[in-house]
Amino acid sequence: MPASAALRRELARLGAPRREVDLESLQPMLAETAAEPFAAPGWLFELKHDGFRLLAARNGSTVRLKYRSGASATHAFPEVERAVRALPKGDFVLDGEVVVFGPDGRPSFQALQKRFQLRRPADVASAARRLPATLCVFDLPALAGHDLRALPLVQRKDVLRAFLGEDAPVRYTDHVREDGLAFYAEVRRRGLEGMVAKRAESPYVPGRSPHWLKLRVDRTVELAVVGFTLPRDTRQGFGALHLASWENGGFVYAGRVGSGFDDAELALLRRTLDAARVPRPLCGGRVPAGRDHAWVRPALVCEVRYKERTEEGLLRQPVFLRFRGDRRPDDCGFTETLPAPPAAPLPVAARLTNPDKVFWPAEGYTKGELVAYYRAVAPWLLPYLRDRPLVLTRYPDGIEGKSFFQKDAPVYVPDWVRTQVIHARDADRDIRYFVIDDEDMLRYVANMGTIPLHVWNARVASLDRPDWMVLDLDPKEAPFAHVVQVARALKKILDDLELPSVPKTSGATGLHILLPMGQRYTHEEVRTFARLLATMVVETLPEISTIVRAIRGRGGKVYVDFGQNGHGNTIVAPYSVRPLPGAPASCPLRWDEVNARLDPARFTIRTIPERFEEMEDPLRAVLGEGIDMGEAIAAIERRIAGD
């Protein structure tokens, strides 16, 4: 039976003020990172779940679920919505983590990602039955018209436990007191995600706080070295090591590791690897193919740290730790089981058609290779496509055939492919855009002969508030060396203003410089600020840059284009292929790569997948917290006044 009367008396005794807490304006409390586990009086230690942060609220008959980003999760997890609705009567706000547990009782992040990517109601309902999610609740910011955020954590958790009871359809996250060392050791022993340390007396405050500390437990494994990838750019020795585990009397491919090495190890190890080379891989499993892979006799054993394994048995986010000269290659491997696959397959794309049709005649690259490229880069590309209107340019007969521009999705598109109707202000008509949320949808549009992908800088749920600003450095008749000069000058201006920025190649002849906006400003505000920055860089380098749009008026200078920041304007997506000889693609860069040696033509469908197997995506920062435009403008005004 509902415990609201007793709980109301308890809340009054604790002194919780009567005040509504609005879910939309509530900012979750976040943890900082701790260097190592500890034990201390006055601290609670909870299990760190491998899931998505989720706030859940009930107000009258309305239940809402919200991700930490602010996006709605209500329709993504209908079973969680029903569980929250079934709780005792009264209004409340819960804070927790949504998790999909595997058959072994441990959270499966890969299964959760599959749930997150679904959009069609029928697919969501089916997955809710096959891959049910659980809300693991660890805090209670509000209950029964009372604001609990100022109460100590230990009191909030006492109220939460009493409110949920023993048989709640959502799960209470318990804790241990003081002995974080023993708790951490047990978390590690069981191969779980990690733990969170929290001060027992901490109030619930927005943003990161030193009163909450997270400690991730990365798994380690010893694996045999069975090959390596050839180095690229300025890297010495090799790109990454191919690894394999010993299973049932043979080696099975387990993925590659490219981070964690120093330059001395790269060069020294390459000589050892060359001496052990063999013509083909001596392992089974999902072994990569291509000229950039070399194979060796399994003689070396290395220890790597990793987050988890995929359903295919490959390492996720591995980092090299050390070589183990005390271990034999046939005496190393995994002690954990693979995550179980879903009970039934999730929706898949239609059969690939005409995979052998040549799309790049000079290189012989086929449509099948184009689709394979987009599948390979999907983990890095999809964050820039999800929830955004997409414009296609289709080349059904390859880059030398006829092409056409497509905004409207055709009527024959399968119902599992997401589309979004948006009213076009200039044309005064509705347009049914593609919205690509997962790998199957991406494969579908690539199979249509789509080569470049152009995306909006805003999401469907917030079309008037962009995620990023772009300054497009377009050379036309100017030398690319001038593009680099202008980019470096712009970087200096942005650094002086303490504004973060990330460059990427356009995939053609120019560079894009992106700044995070975080949906804080309108398109017109962003465009106005972009014009100000463009004007500043042109004033710095007037001899080689311009903001004149007409080509005949540029005088052979680099055009600093700020105009692509309006409502409905698009840019070529990161990792998007271009219909040009060599099959180049738009590639995110580190700023130290923007120098005299930079050659955009080197980033192609052949080179980009391996580049990002061995480095983090530097562009991901533009999807994060936006800049403070008002503070930047004030800094510019101070700079002008100082001059």
Where do the domains of the chain lie?
Answer: 4-215, 219-331, 359-460, 468-640
pLDDT tens-digit readout, 402-417: 999 899 888 778 877 8
Q: Would you say residue 595 has pLDDT above 60?
A: yes
Residues 6+ apart with CB under 8 A from 198: 31, 43, 44, 45, 46, 153, 175, 211, 212, 213
In angstroms, how far is the first alpha carbon of the chain from the final one?
72
**pLDDT higher for 331 or 329?**
329
CA-CA-CA-CA torsion for 79, 81, 86, 88, nearest 10 degrees?
A: 140
pLDDT of the residue at 335: 66
CA–CA gap between residue 476 and residue 621 (Å, rounded): 29
pLDDT of the residue at 583: 95
CA–CA gap between residue 607 and residue 587 (Å, rounded): 10
Domain 468-640: homologous superfamily in CATH = DNA primase, PRIM domain (3.90.920.10)
CA–CA gap between residue 94 and residue 138 (Å, rounded): 8
The structure tokens 């593009």 sit at: 483
pLDDT of the residue at 167: 59
The structure tokens 């993504």 sit at: 76
The structure tokens 């979750």 sit at: 28
pLDDT tens-digit readout, 512-547: 999 999 989 999 999 999 999 999 999 999 999 999
Q: How many CA atoms lie within 13 A of 171 on its CB side?
A: 14
Ramachandran bin of 164, using left for φ above 0, alpha for ψ from -120 to 50, beta for the remaining angles: alpha
Q: Which of 33, 28, 377 is nearest to 218 (CA)?
A: 33
**Which one-letter amino acid corresponds to residue 310?**
T
pLDDT band, residue 1 (cuts 50/70/90): very low
Q: Yes or no: say if 101 and 107 are a contact pair by the CB < 8 Å rule.
A: yes
Strand 429-434 versus strand 419-424 pairing type:
antiparallel
CA–CA gap between residue 26 and residue 235 (Å, rounded): 46
Please give the sequence-ordered ranges of beta strands (E in DSSP) within 68-118, or none if there are none: 92-100
pLDDT of the residue at 492: 96
pLDDT of the residue at 351: 59
CA-CA-CA-CA torsion for 46, 335, 307, 49, nearest 10 degrees?
A: -20
- What DSSP character marks residue 101? B
pLDDT band, residue 172 (cuts 50/70/90): very high
List the single range of 24-33, 257-266, 273-282 with lowest mean pLDDT: 257-266
Q: Would you say residue 473 has pLDDT above 80?
A: yes
pLDDT of the residue at 434: 93
Give backbone dihedrals phi and psi of 117, rounded to 5 degrees, phi first: -80, -15
Q: Which of 456, 567, 568, 454 is nearest to 521 (CA)?
A: 567
pLDDT band, residue 343 (cuts 50/70/90): very low
Residues with catalytic function? 48
CA–CA gap between residue 263 and residue 82 (Å, rounded): 54
Mean pLDDT of the residues in the chain:
88
Encoding tokens for residue 228?
Answer: 């390596």
Q: Which helix (H) or strand (E) holds 241?
A: strand 241-247
The CATH number of domain 4-215, selected from 1.10.10.10, 3.40.640.10, 3.30.500.10, 3.30.470.30: 3.30.470.30
pLDDT tens-digit readout, 106-160: 788 777 877 877 778 888 888 888 889 999 999 999 998 999 999 999 999 999 9
The CATH number given to 219-331 is: 2.40.50.140
